Amino acid sequence: MSVIDRRRPFVSVTMEDVARAAGVSRALVSLTYRGVGRVSEQTRQRILAVGSQLGYRPNMVAARLASRAANTIGVVLLDLHNDLYADVYDGLRSVVDATGKHIVLAVSRADGSGDQQALETLLQSRVDVVIAAGLLIPDRAVHRVAESVPIVSVGRDIPGVDSLFSNDFLGAELATRHLQDLGHRDIAFLANPQTDGYRGRLQGYEVTMRSAGLAPRAIPTAHSRTQAAEDVSVLLDDASPPTAVFAHNDQAALGVLDAMAVRGLTSDDVSVVGYDNSSVSSAPGTALTTIDVHATQVGRAAAEVALARLAAPGAERTVRSWEPSLVVRTTTRPHRPSSD
């Protein structure tokens, strides 16, 4: 496996320098030096001239990879601190390793701010197909990259792109109904940022609450454990705290448990449900009730779709949805009415 090292300790002129001097995007510079995509001749000549003046030398890793026809698979993972993406990677690698093809890995940031850079890194490396797990950038930004290289989206349905994902609406319904069945009526939801392709969990929660005649109580948070702990603290310190919290992913759920521990609260006081069934959720000290999105299975399927796309570039788009399942552990308990 090859991993891109972005530190570039010996490169004095970067692609960003050329883009800035030529007044174009980094992606356009990448396409020009790769000789792909729709770049006008006038723009191409200007970029090459500026690059020559600055003494820019194209990435040598990309040049080496270019000699391996249809032999390199790029992988973008949103966040290595989230075990979900490690599970996806384990699944896809189990398939790719058996083919002898190479993997080039690029990692984004939990808030998605590194998505574009990660994709452009893979473009520069001239990968033949990209498997992208957890992209947060808008659909239109993904489509621009997909004009140059096929993309297989994992965890999100992106129109026009091969997509494999879990039914988030159903998953949220399962989590919320489980808490309702335990007698909880004041159920809060720590909601993920509502970006393209990631609105299903909030919608599923709200519909399930209203269907039971209950008022939704959604609180926005980020993708990190630390931020979730801070955001849920407001709820836990409220005069009328919720008796249960459904978090949009396992990392956020762990943040809820952290905030509860500081306050001396246990699952007898507040039930907690996560989402993803990442490996950390099953740890004995955690035993988190969660929604299983079958990440390893989806990772294997994503690799198979990517290989099929390499074999048949013009084939119809692949769309596969998995039904999530509820995994009950020790962080959810029956509601205990207040003795006051």
Determine the average pLDDT of the residues in 101-130.
Answer: 94
Q: Could you tell me the maximum CA-CA distance found in the chain, to the nearest angstrom?
A: 78
The CATH architecture to which 168-293 belongs is 3-Layer(aba) Sandwich (3.40)
* Average per-residue pLDDT for the chain: 90
The reported pLDDT for the residue numbered 317 is 96
Phi and psi angles of residue 55, each rounded to the nearest 5 degrees, phi first: 75, 30
- Note the helical H segments in 55-193: 60-66, 83-96, 115-124, 139-146, 168-181
What is the CB-side half-sphere exposure of residue 296 using CA atoms within 13 A? Answer: 7
SS3 27: helix
**Lowest mean pLDDT, pick from 11-20, 107-116, 212-221:** 11-20
Q: Which strand (E) or helix (H) includes residue 133?
A: strand 129-133
Looking at per-residue pLDDT, the higher value among 4 and 242 belongs to 242
Tens-place pLDDT, residues 9-68: 334 578 888 989 999 888 788 778 776 667 888 888 899 999 888 888 765 434 443 444
Q: Are 58 and 13 in contact (CB under 8 A)?
A: no
Determine the average pLDDT of the residues in 321-337.
Answer: 96
Delimit the CATH 3.40.50.2300 region(s) of the chain. Answer: 168-293
Buried b (16+ CB within 10 A) or exposed e, 91-106: bbbebbeeeebbbbbb
Q: Are 171 and 325 in contact (CB under 8 A)?
A: no
- Residue 227's pLDDT band, with cuts at 50, 70 and 90, is very high
Task: Report the DSSP beta bridge partners of residue 220.
Answer: 191
144: nearest Cα among 126, 132, 162, 160: 160
* Topology of the domain covering 1-57: 434 Repressor (Amino-terminal Domain) (1.10.260)
Delimit the CATH 1.10.260.40 region(s) of the chain. Answer: 1-57
Distance (Å, whole) CA 145 – CA 162 = 13
SS3 290: strand
- Residue 304's pLDDT band, with cuts at 50, 70 and 90, is very high
The reported pLDDT for the residue numbered 284 is 87
Q: Are 197 and 156 in contact (CB under 8 A)?
A: yes
Determine the average pLDDT of the residues in 176-194.
Answer: 97
SS3 232: helix
Which residues does 145 contact at the CB level (< 8 Å), separation at least 6?
27, 119, 120, 123, 130, 151
